[in-house]
Structure 1
Amino acid sequence: MNAFMLRGSLLLAALSLLAACSKAAPPPEPLRPVLTTVLGASADSGSGIYSGEVRSRYETPLGFRIPGKIAARLVDAGALVKAGDVLARLDPADTALSAAAAEAQLELAVADNRRYRELRGKNFVSQAALDAKETTFKAALAQADLARNQSSYTVLRADQAGVVELVAAEVGQVVAAGQTVLRLARTDTLEVAVAIPETRMPEVRLLKSAEVSLWADEQARFKGVLRELSPVADALTRTYAARVSILNPDARVLLGMTANVKFLSDKTGATAKSRLSVPLTAIFQQEGKPALWIVGADQTVSLRPVAVAAYGETTATLDSGANAGERIVVAGVHKLSAGEKIKAVDQAAAQ
């Protein structure tokens, strides 16, 4: 019985060995696909592209110098006007009555002044009485001049050539003195109004030249120059208002268009140098210091420390640690380990 059981055990062991030998080896695990990109050199200021609106440097609110009821408006929004063109008129009835009353007072003062001069020549009145009439005459003359000026204030004229940007009052509306009726913008002083984040202020302060492109026409590109940079941040957006003048714009540039401004560094300056820009998602923090995953020729990754010159909204500008042409990982950097072999997927091709 023991011999029979021993032979059975040996038979089962042999069968198990044959089954193990005939079983196929498991397939190797597939390589992990990882999103990567190739580093390319860009200008130190090239990473800053800001969207803004085409505005005029001179946008003048126009209003009447006296209160009254608008009797006529001769232009609409978008109208091109020349200096001196009539834009609107007030009802002149009240100013006409004031002018007539002032003229009547002036005529009476002139007659009294003439008569008192004759009486003074005959020594019938005192010099004090004549001086009083002289003063009354001067006051009446000034009042008549003021009434005539106010009559002319019922006509609103363009003080410069431009385009009517805004109409803020209509015929029949009663307006106060100085209330905005129209807004006039000059078309020969076009510029782009942009907002600069506080993180970009140090580099923008050092730059002057820029390139302006239109969103409506990608082929339309113009040279620009930074004209104005606010020293105080907006209380709501915490950004700094800037104005970039467009040099030699053509008919494609219209007020209100969306434009992109790219600040350019001075290539002739001794301090200008080429730097690399990487997405923020590519930065891996190793012991509190920034690093990048570099993809080698054999598709293995290695971690390399880098120095970051500045952080932007979506990108970081490198000061050192990486070279143009190297491939880096731009997504999933926290899931990799040194020496791991991956399947590199180009970011541009994936999009």
Structure 2
Amino acid sequence: MRIYILRAALIGLGLFAASVQAEPLTVLTVRPHAVELGFPVEAVVEAVQQTTVGAQLPGRIVAVSADVGQAVKKGEVLMRLDAREAAEAVRAAEAQYANAKVNFERTKSLVAQKFMSAAALDKAKADFDAASASRAAAGVSQSHATIVAPIAGIVARRHAELGDMAMPGTPLFTIFQPGGLRVTASIPQYRLNEMRGVRTARVEFPELGKWVEATAVQLLPTADAATHVSQVRVVLPPMPEARPGMFVRAHFVTGQGEKLTVPATAVWRRGEVATVYVQGADGRLSLRQLRLGDAVGQGEIEVLAGLAAGDKVVTDPVKAAIALKAAPAAGR
């Protein structure tokens, strides 16, 4: 029984190898060509307009109306705090205001009848103005118990939960506008001379497998005193799939040159050794070790040694490896 199973497995493997070998491989003839030169910098996507909403008075969170990912309008209620203490402060301020108003009116009448001095009227007027200001301040404090969105956008993060105690200055929500995104990269000091002439950049999203052209590049005029790096802002076109905090690579274009390159996807790395599969004139595949330079263009790597103009490189090393292993099996 085991012999039959083994024989069936070998037959199946031979059929699979034959089908793999029959499948044509995509090859690329490498030649020196003009590529854009520059250097990549790891960066982070951030929102051009982003705000953090915080608490302005102490209180326990009694209602939550927004969550992460939700689109909100300007002025929309996000959260409510327990406002009982603020309401009592308003009542006390209203009582003081009413008392100061009555006292001011009485003093004004008595001064008109020459029963009190003008100084008494001045004090009554000052007390009335102070009570009026206290009442207005208490009303504003009470309104702070209702947390509203200061801008229209998307809730990126909610920092507090229902029942938590909010204190003044405590962040509650982070909101950003998705229409305007940019990339912020840190440029070392020795690159600043190159960056002053840079007007073009391409942003690579490794997780999305996408490259986009930047709409603007701005080198900030200051440097960090601790790290000695300068910030560069790269403005992105509208991208619904991009989110603040995503990892990207900003490729700054500094010029052009003739280079022999291969696609980065064609390189098979084994530790520190970089190799590609080369197809000979007779169609046979061989593994060629390379010495690589910097990344250039869009998804290309400069070849310093190991290839010559006219060599045919297989663009998919996985398929090439399977085809190379399957070739002897298919021939039997």
The interval holding the TM-score normalised by the smaller chain is 0.5 to 0.7
1:63 to 54, 73, 82: 54
Asked if residue 253 in structure 1 is aligned to residue 242 in structure 2, the reply is: yes
Q: How does 1:130-141 map to 2 (within 5 A)?
A: 130-141=121-132
Answer yes or no: is 1:49 the counterpart of 2:40: yes
The one-letter amino acid of 1:68's match is G
Distance 1:344 1:222 in 2: 30
Matched to 1:56, the amino acid is A
Q: Any stretches of 5+ residues in structure 1 without a counterpart?
A: 1-36, 266-272, 280-312, 318-326, 332-342
Q: Note the C-alpha offset of 1:230.
A: 6.2
Taking only aligned residues, the RMSD between alpha carbons, in angstroms, comes to: 3.3
Paired letter, 1:41: A
Contact 1:213 1:222 in 2 (8 A): no
The answer to whether residue 268 in structure 2 is matched with residue 275 in structure 1 is no
Report what 2:294 is aligned to.
315
Distance 1:344 1:103, change over 3 A: closer
Q: Deviation per CA, 1:10-39, whole angstroms, max 9, x where unpaired? A: xxxxxxxxxxxxxxxxxxxxxxxxxxx864
Q: 1:316 to 1:146 in 2, by over 3 A?
A: closer
Equivalent position SS for 1:181: strand
Which deviations, in whole Å up to 9, do the C-alpha atoms of 1:71-118 show, x marking residues without a partner? 222111111111111111211000000000000010011111111111
Whole-angstrom distance in 2 between the partners of 1:344 and 1:118? 105
Q: Which ranges of structure 2 fall in alignment gaps of 5 or more residues?
A: 1-29, 262-291, 297-302, 318-332
Mapping of 1:23-38 within 5 angstroms? none
1:175 aligned to 2:170?
A: no
Partner of 1:329: 305
Which of 96, 101, 108 aligns to 1:110? It is: 101
> How much has 1:345 moved relative to structure 2?
11
* Residues 164 and 182 in structure 1, CA contact (< 8 A), matched pair in contact too: yes
| 1:225 matches 2:216 | yes
CA distance, structure 2, for counterparts of residue 328 and residue 163 of structure 1: 47
User: Which residue of the partner structure matches residue 234 of structure 2?
Assistant: 244
Instruction: Point out the structure with max Rg over C-alpha.
Output: 1
Q: Distance in 2 between matches of 1:211 and 1:348?
A: 26
Identify which of 149, 170, 186 aligns with 2:177: 186
Q: In structure 1, how many angstroms separate the alpha carbons of the residues matched to 2:193 and 2:202? A: 19
Asked if 2 retains the 8 angstrom alpha-carbon contact of 1:55 and 1:255, the reply is: yes
- Asked if the contact 1:74/1:88 (under 8 Å) is kept, the reply is yes
Is the Cα–Cα contact under 8 Å of residues 233 and 239 in structure 1 kept in the other structure? yes
Matching residue's letter, 1:246? L
Distance verdict in 2 for CA 1:178–1:314, change over 3 Å: farther
Q: Deviations over 1:215-267 (max 9, x none)?
A: 3444553433113436324846x6543221113x14233334343322235xx
TM-aligned CA deviation for residue 348 of structure 1: 5.1
TM-score relative to the length of structure 2: 0.65
Match of 2:63 in 1: 72
Amino acid of the residue matched to residue 42 of structure 1? V
Q: Work out the CA distance in 2 between the residues paired with 1:314 and 1:105.
A: 78
Query: What CA deviation, in whole Å up to 9, does each residue of 1:297-347 have, x standing for no partner?
Result: xxxxxxxxxxxxxxxx95399xxxxxxxxx95369xxxxxxxxxxx99969
CA distance in 1, matches of 2:220, 2:260: 27
- Percent identical residues: 27
- The 1-side partners of 2:243 and 2:304 are apart by 42
SS in 2 for 1:178: coil
State TM-score, norm by structure 1: 0.62
In 1, the alpha carbon distance for the partners of 2:294 and 2:103 equals: 84
The count of corresponding residues between Structure 1 and Structure 2 is 251
Whether the 8 Å CA contact 2:94–2:135 is kept in 1: the answer is yes
C-alpha distance in 1 between matches for 2:150 and 2:171 = 14
- Structure 2 contact 202–252 (Cα < 8 Å) conserved: yes
Aligned equivalent of 1:162: 153
Structure 2 residue identity aligned to 1:74? S
8 Å CA contact retained: 2:196, 2:219:
no
